[in-house]
């Protein structure tokens, strides 16, 4: 079964064709980073307008790369939410129109379930399979949430069967990716913050940590997350130490001249700044890994799934690999391309929902706060 997936929940217009929820025939992503970077974050109005411009060529490209015609598609899967309402509506309206014109079923997909399926797609490519139930951490610019994932029928070990989710913890304030983006903005390192901070944190440097961040203690649910305290601590540290101001100003100036690459910004970072970035990343990664591993231990699961834009982080991957090996748990990540928003994950999630008989009618609407559990 060939499903055309459509994703437009935030700042990526994406389309993909996936066979039986497993084999990716094509996956096209048009990123809007070029449009939003000068504002230091996603501007919803601009995002909707850009989705409108991109949706037709992106779908066309995905169909062409899959070597087929639009009429050969067996079903259409589209992100219903969560996300920006105006952005979601572009994908949904387009999906509905195509489904109606071709007389094909339209399957509504939760964006977060898409991120879970990104892990299954990758595992399948690598000839691996995640044992269920599992613990899944979805960590992106909009979400930081821990789920228990299990098949509806506990005897079935099939990620294409309908899955059930139970929320175990979530961020009480900022998402981890949002913290990366805000800290990068504060330091004059542009948008999005994750990729550049990730690379700067890895630059070898003997400078001592200019400040230490302890683990975030949570009252109540110990599996919840919080990143706004860390972000504020970074802000105060930078404000209170005037030596950062001049290099931040120089980097901001470089950004306005279009110099946004790692190689261009690295020479403008002092050893002290690099050490500060290293400490920030260390604190975020430690919290993400420790809470996820506690959840896995609590449930006694054999698999941990990690997905979403921040799952591309190199230190997060290494730390999870080390911790899971020590705990006798298998950890699964999507490739970097499947970690960030894409439509292959939406098509894969749509397949399991279609098999379970979940099909939308013409009243399908965007749900900006659609919950998974
Ligand atoms: O999943 P995604 O593409 O979009 C959302 O649904 O939010 O995630 C984007 C987020 C951004 O906040 C970005 O800074 C972060 O993922 N990100 C990273 C890395 N690559 C992207 N954060 C840390 N390290 C990375 N390598
Ligand atoms: Zn996402």
Within a domain: 128: no
Within a domain: 257: yes
Domain stop point among 264, 287, 310? 287
Same domain, 264 and 346: no
Within a domain: 124: no
Which residue, judged by its Cα, is nearest atom 7 of ligand 1?
141
Same domain, 282 and 180: yes
Report how far residue 172's alpha carbon sits from residue 135's, in angstroms, rounded to the nearest whole number.
19
**For residue 159, what are the CA distances in angstroms to 30, 243, 265?**
28, 52, 42
Same domain, 32 and 91: yes
Mutation pick for ligand 1 pocket among 310, 336, 337, 370 (CB with most ligand atoms within 8 Å): 310
- Here the tokens at position 202 are 């890895």
**CATH of residue 17:** 3.30.420.40
Report how far residue 73's alpha carbon sits from residue 220's, in angstroms, rounded to the nearest whole number.
48
Domain stop point among 248, 268, 287? 287
Query: Does the global pTM surpass 0.85?
Result: yes
Q: According to the model, what pLDDT value does residue 192 have? A: 93
> Is the pLDDT score of 40 beyond 90?
no
10 lines ligand 1 (CB under 6 A): yes
The ligand whose atoms approach the alpha carbon of 339 most closely is 1
193 lines ligand 1 (CB under 6 A): yes
The helices-and-strands tally (H runs, E runs) of the chain is: 13, 10
Within a domain: 312: no
Section 121-126 average pLDDT = 96
Q: What sign does the CA torsion over 42, 44, 49, 55 have?
A: positive
Same domain, 191 and 280: yes
Mutation pick for ligand 1 pocket among 82, 171, 180 (CB with most ligand atoms within 8 Å): 180
Report how far residue 118's alpha carbon sits from residue 123's, in angstroms, rounded to the nearest whole number.
9
Tell me: the pLDDT tens digits for 249-283?
999 999 999 999 999 999 999 999 999 999 999 99
340 lines ligand 1 (CB under 6 A): yes
11 lines ligand 1 (CB under 6 A): no
Q: What sign does the CA torsion over 260, 262, 263, 266 have?
A: positive
Domain stop point among 250, 272, 287? 287
Distance spanning both ends of the chain, measured CA to CA: 28
Percentage with pLDDT > 90 across the chain: 94
Within a domain: 258: yes
Which residue, judged by its Cα, is nearest atom 13 of ligand 1?
194
Q: Which residues surround ligand 2, an ion (CB under 5 A)?
A: 140, 341
Mutation pick for ligand 1 pocket among 141, 184, 230, 341 (CB with most ligand atoms within 8 Å): 141
- Give me the residues paired with residue 169 across strands: 146
Within a domain: 188: yes
Same domain, 180 and 102: no
307 lines ligand 1 (CB under 6 A): no
* Secondary structure (3-state) at 260: coil
Tell me: the pLDDT tens digits for 143-198?
999 999 999 888 888 889 999 999 999 999 999 999 999 999 999 999 999 999 99
Within a domain: 30: yes
Same domain, 102 and 180: no
In total, how many domains does the chain have? 2
Same domain, 269 and 346: no
- Give me the residues paired with residue 139 across strands: 144
**How many angstroms is it from 180 CA to the middle of ligand 1?**
8
Which residue segment(s) compose the domain that 64 sits in?
A: 2-113+338-355
Q: What sign does the CA torsion over 20, 58, 81, 320 have?
A: positive
**How many angstroms is it from 9 CA to the middle of ligand 2?**
8
Within a domain: 27: yes
Tell me: the pLDDT tens digits for 41-54?
899 999 999 999 99
CB 117 within 8 A of CB 345: yes
């Amino acid at each position: 079964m060939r499903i055309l997936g459509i994703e437009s929940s935030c700042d990526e217009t994406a389309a993909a064709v996936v066979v039986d929820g497993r084999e990716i025939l094509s996956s096209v992503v048009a990123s809007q980073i070029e449009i939003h970077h000068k504002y230091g974050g996603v501007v919803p109005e601009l995002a909707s307008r850009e989705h409108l411009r991109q949706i037709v060529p992106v779908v066309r490209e995905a169909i062409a790369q899959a070597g087929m015609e639009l009429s050969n598609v067996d079903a259409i899967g589209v992100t219903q939410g969560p996300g920006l309402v105006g952005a979601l509506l572009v994908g949904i309206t387009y999906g509905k129109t195509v489904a109606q014109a071709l007389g094909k079923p339209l399957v509504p997909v939760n964006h977060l379930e898409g991120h879970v399926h990104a892990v299954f797609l990758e595992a399948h490519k690598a000839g691996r399979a995640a044992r269920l139930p599992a613990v899944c951490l979805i960590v992106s610019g909009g979400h930081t949430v821990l789920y228990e994932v299990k098949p509806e029928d506990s005897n079935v070990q099939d990620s294409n069967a309908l899955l059930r989710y139970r929320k175990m913890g979530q961020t009480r304030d900022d998402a981890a990716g949002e913290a990366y983006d805000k800290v990068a903005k504060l330091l004059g390192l542009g948008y999005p913050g994750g990729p550049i901070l990730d690379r700067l944190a890895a630059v070898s440097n003997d400078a001592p940590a200019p400040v230490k961040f302890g683990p975030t203690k949570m009252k109540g649910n110990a599996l919840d997350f919080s990143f706004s305290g860390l972000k504020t601590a970074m802000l105060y540290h930078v404000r209170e130490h005037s030596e950062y101001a001049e290099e931040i100003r120089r980097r901001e100036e470089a950004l306005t001249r279009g110099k946004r690459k790692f190689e261009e910004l690295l020479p403008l970072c002092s050893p002290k700044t690099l050490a500060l970035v290293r400490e920030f990343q260390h604190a975020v990664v430690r919290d993400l890994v420790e809470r996820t591993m506690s959840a896995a231990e609590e449930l006694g699961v054999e698999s941990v799934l990690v997905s979403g834009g921040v799952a591309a982080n190199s230190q997060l991957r290494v730390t999870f690999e080390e911790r899971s090996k020590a705990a006798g748990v298998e950890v699964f990540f999507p490739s970097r391309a499947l970690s960030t928003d894409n439509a292959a994950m939406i098509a894969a999630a749509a397949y399991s929902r279609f098999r379970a008989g979940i099909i939308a009618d013409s009243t399908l609407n965007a749900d900006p706060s659609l919950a998974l559990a």
